[in-house]
Amino acid sequence: MPHPHADLLTRFYDAFARRDGDTMAACYHPDVRFQDEVFDLRGPQVGAMWRMLCARGEDLIVTASDIDADDDVGSARWVATYTFTQTGRPVRNEVGAAFTFEDGLIRTHRDRFDFRRWSRQALGLSGLLLGWTPILRRAVQKRAARQLDRYVERHPEALGSVGFGGPTG
C-alpha cells in the first residue's frame, strides 16, 4: 500500500496532467516554497504559478513516474511536452522533483531540469548559443516573474489558497 504522501504526489501529478491548477495548489502547505530553474516562489504564489501554467498550456502533456515518498521526503520524475508560446517551438522537458512534507501536505518542492537543454528547445539558436550563460537564465527568470505578476493582476483569484487538500482532502 502506497504511503499517504505518495498518494498526495500522485494526486498532484494527476491534476497536472488534467491541467487542474486548483487541485495542484490544494496539495501544498500554506507556507510552501517552490524552486526550479526559473521560479523561486513561496505561499500562494506557488498555486498561482501552476494555475497560470495550466491555463496557458493548451497542448501541455504531463506524465509522471517513479513517485516515491515516506513520512519526511518524496521524489518523482516527470516529463512535460508543450509548445513554448513565445517562439512556437516544441519542448520536451524532463524534470526530477524532490519534496518535503508537513501536516500531510507538500512543504517544499524542488524541480530540477537541464536549463541548457530546455533553452535550446524553447528558444532555438539563442538558447543554443547562450543557454549555458547566467545572463540568459536571469532574462528567462525575469520574464517568467513578469508573466506571473501580470497573470495575478488579471486573475487575483489565482492567489487563492494553497493547502487544505491533505490526506483526506
Three-state DSSP state, 53? helix
Task: Report the first-to-last Cα separation within the chain, whole angstroms.
Answer: 19
Tell me what pLDDT residue 154 has: 94
Q: Lowest-pLDDT range, 1-10, 37-46, 91-100, 154-163?
A: 154-163
Q: pLDDT (tens digit, 9 = 90+) per residue, 111-135? A: 999 999 999 999 999 888 988 889 9
Tell me what pLDDT residue 161 has: 66
Residue 8's CB is within 10 A of a number of other CB atoms, namely: 26
Residues 47-67 have a mean pLDDT of 96
Tell me what pLDDT residue 34 has: 99
Residue 166 pLDDT grade (very low, low, confident, very high; cuts 50, 70, 90): very low
User: Beta strand 73-84 with 89-102: parallel, antiparallel or unpaired?
Assistant: antiparallel
Kindly list the domain boundaries of the chain, sorted by start residue.
4-159
List the beta bridge partners of residue 84. Answer: 89
**Smallest Cα–Cα separation from 72: which of 23, 4, 25?**
4
Residue 57 pLDDT grade (very low, low, confident, very high; cuts 50, 70, 90): confident
List the beta bridge partners of residue 21. Answer: none
Tell me what pLDDT residue 131 has: 83
User: Considering the domain 4-159, what is its CATH architecture?
Assistant: Roll (3.10)
Task: Give the number of C-alpha atoms closer than 13 A to the C-alpha of residue 123, restricted to the C-beta side.
Answer: 18
d(CA 42, CA 32): 6
Is the model's pLDDT at 153 over the cut of 60? yes
Three-state DSSP state, 137? helix
Q: pLDDT (tens digit, 9 = 90+) per residue, 75-107? A: 999 999 999 989 999 999 999 999 999 999 999
Residues 44-72 have a mean pLDDT of 96
d(CA 100, CA 73): 4
The pTM for the full model equals 0.90
Cα dihedral: 71, 26, 90, 147 (round 10):
-120
Cβ contact 107:71 at 8 Å:
no
